[in-house]
Amino acid sequence: MIRLDAVSKVYNQGRHNEVWAVRDLRLELETRGITVLKGPSGSGKTSLLAMLGCLSRPSSGRIHLEGRLLSNLPERFMTQVRRSTFGFIFQRFNLIRGLTVLENVMLPAYPLAPDPGRLRDQALGLLRQFRLEERAHNKSEWLSGGEAQRTAICRALINDPAIIIADEPTANLDSQLSRELLTLIGELADQGKGILISSHDPLVFDHARVSRVVELRDGRLA
């Protein structure tokens, strides 16, 4: 359970270009099943996901995860929570150019210093699961959009997080690939992962597996 108490996010506060991306949001989210944050571009979905995933802090208000206050943890603990609890699938995939698919997938585990052989096996296992084993030693910049996204999913899963966060995951995919992606996400939900997705794509928020849709507009619940 994630609880938000009067959470706001403001950029450039006090300056002429001040933007309230999220305003006074009160909300409870399940950490199981698939939750979709729906809303037009600029409604604050990405800002909210970033705060939920400990990538940034609220300007005011509090966020609790399973009863634990996240929003004012020191930076180191925030990183630890982020690393152990959340896996991210970014809209622009954010794979690191010049590294192979396999290296990209293993990257989030480096600070945990696992046994290299085991880490490799685990990463290869994930790549097999997502039909990428043939790509393992290719550089990430040569992948197609669908492959890059599946690589990003493998990377999000390498530390076995409880919650997967995906920001507009279908924005760069055609309908066919979008459906395949939703199937994959459904499978992850079946394995017990909580999924938080932002999207303004009807293919996503009308999907049968989605358990809850939260609609945002101008940083508030619509």
Binding site partner of 99, from another protein, Mg ion, ligand ADP, none, Cβ cut-off 5-8 A by kind: another protein
Q: Does 159 bind another protein (CB under 8 A)?
A: yes
- Check: CB of residue 169 under 8 Å from CB of residue 145: no
Pairing state between β 60-65 and 163-167? unpaired
Residue 210 burial (CB count, 10 A)? 21
Strand pairing class (86-89; 163-167) = parallel
Question: In whole angstroms, what is the distance from residue 190 CA to residue 180 CA?
Answer: 15
Closer CB to Mg ion, 122 or 219, in the complex: 219
13 phi/psi in degrees, rounded to 5: -60, 135
Exactly one of 46, 122, 170, 178 binds Mg ion (CB under 5 A); that residue is 46
- Asked if 146 is part of the footprint of ligand ADP (rule: CB under 6 A), the reply reads no
Residue 1 Cβ, how far from another protein at the closest point, in Å?
23
Decide: is 71 part of the binding site for Mg ion (CB under 5 A). Answer: no
11 binds, among ligand ADP, another protein, Mg ion, none (CB under 5 to 8 A by kind): ligand ADP
C-alpha 15/C-alpha 153 separation (Å) is 38
In the region spanning residues 9 to 48, those forming contacts with ligand ADP, defined by CB under 6 A, are 11-12, 19, 21, 39, 41-47
Q: Please, what is the Cα angle at 148 between 196 and 94, to 5 degrees?
A: 65
| Site for another protein, rule CB under 8 A | 46-47, 49-50, 55-57, 75-76, 79, 82-83, 88, 90-91, 94, 96-99, 103, 107-108, 110-116, 155, 159, 167
| Site for Mg ion, rule CB under 5 A | 46
